[in-house]
Structure 1
Amino acid sequence: MTGTSSSGMTRRALLGAFAATAVASAPTYSNAAGFLRGAGDIRRIRMYSGRTGERLDMIYWIEGQYIKDAVQEVTYFMRDWRNDLVKNIDLRTIDIMAASHNLLEVNEPYMLLSGYRSPQTNAMLRARSSGVAKNSLHLRGQAADLRLASRSVNQVAKAAMACHGGGVGRYSGSNFVHMDCGQVRSWGG
């Protein structure tokens, strides 16, 4: 995905340089609802995966436009790490994740526990736990399970619920929050 230009600079390096400039000049957002309506100039997502060791800090939307290469990198990052299968991640889910993160006013990246899940992975997890839905939105690339070390499950869930963009599940026993772009609903404790 990162080709090299004739000047020797990679596309990723160019995006990173542009992103750094955009972040420095970007306003802060005070509420997720305005953010999701497009009231801001940029949208940024920061995550890491404890499973793969990968990190992502990506501006994926600028002034009303999604950046195709950035969205592709987010999609790849959120792949099923067990078998490296990739499915496009619904942009609404990425927006909810970014808006929630912004509301929490932290620089710490999310720890991504689960993004896209292949049918094989979902079936394996279902066999191990009654908390895994047969028709999980993870199968469609419409959900993410996330954790922040500096914020409680309740704090992260409240930020996600403030977006009014989809489902929010609290999994306090496992220390993570599920966010999806399905129907607005909440569960767990």
Structure 2
Amino acid sequence: MALGAAPARHLAFDHTHTREKIALDYAVDGSYVPAALRSLDHFMRDHYTGTVGQIDPALFDLLHALRLQLRQTTAFEVISCYRCPETNAHLKRTRGGGVATRSLHMDGKAIDIRIPGVALADLRDAALGLQLGGVGYYAREQFVHVDVGRVRHW
């Protein structure tokens, strides 16, 4: 996704597991800000092990587009982003269905989110409308999965 002409791309997140918060401009004048991306990599780390992965900046572009589509400035609540292979394998063994063996979370290309005050179905529909990657709807667990893999939904 092209960064476009916007002078700055801003995102804000609250992590539901670590209780950390972050708000920053991750791209300015059409270029990613390396220090901001490093901060986001750390923020989006595997909350089970503390392992820091590299998050694909296209995922932040998707989230920014989603924020604009929904006309929201509220922080995204992060349920899960990066997962190291060991965590992914453990979750697959212990959580039954819903955890892919080759999850895009392990590649820094997927995130599970919600936005306070936005109906989960509206978040899902906005993500589907963008056609920028995969969208999973987990109503019972109260989150939407978005990724920058191929366009698909479940």
TM-score (norm 2): 0.93
User: Percent identity among equivalent residues?
Assistant: 35
Give the number of the structure whose alpha-carbon radius of gyration is greater. Answer: 1
Unaligned regions of 5+ residues in structure 1, if any? Answer: 1-32
Unaligned regions of 5+ residues in structure 2, if any? Answer: none
Give yes or no for contact 1:101–1:159 (8 Å, CA) kept in 2.
no
User: After the TM superposition, which residues 1-189 of structure 1 pair with which residues of structure 2 at under 5 Å, given as runs?
Assistant: 36=2, 38-127=4-93, 128-187=95-154
Task: Decide whether aligned partners of structure 1 residues 163 and 42 sit closer, same or farther in structure 2, where only a CA change above 3 A counts.
Answer: farther
How big is the shift at 1:47?
0.5
Q: Which of the two has greater helix per residue? A: 1
The code of the aligned residue for 2:51 comes to L
* DSSP 3-state at the match of 2:49: coil
The code of the aligned residue for 2:142 comes to N
Q: Which of the two has greater strand per residue? A: 2
TM-score (norm 1): 0.77
- Kindly report structure 1 stretches of 4+ aligned residues shifted beyond 3 Å: none
Between the two proteins, the alignment pairs up a number of residues equal to: 153
Give yes or no for contact 1:60–1:67 (8 Å, CA) kept in 2.
yes
The code of the aligned residue for 2:71 comes to E
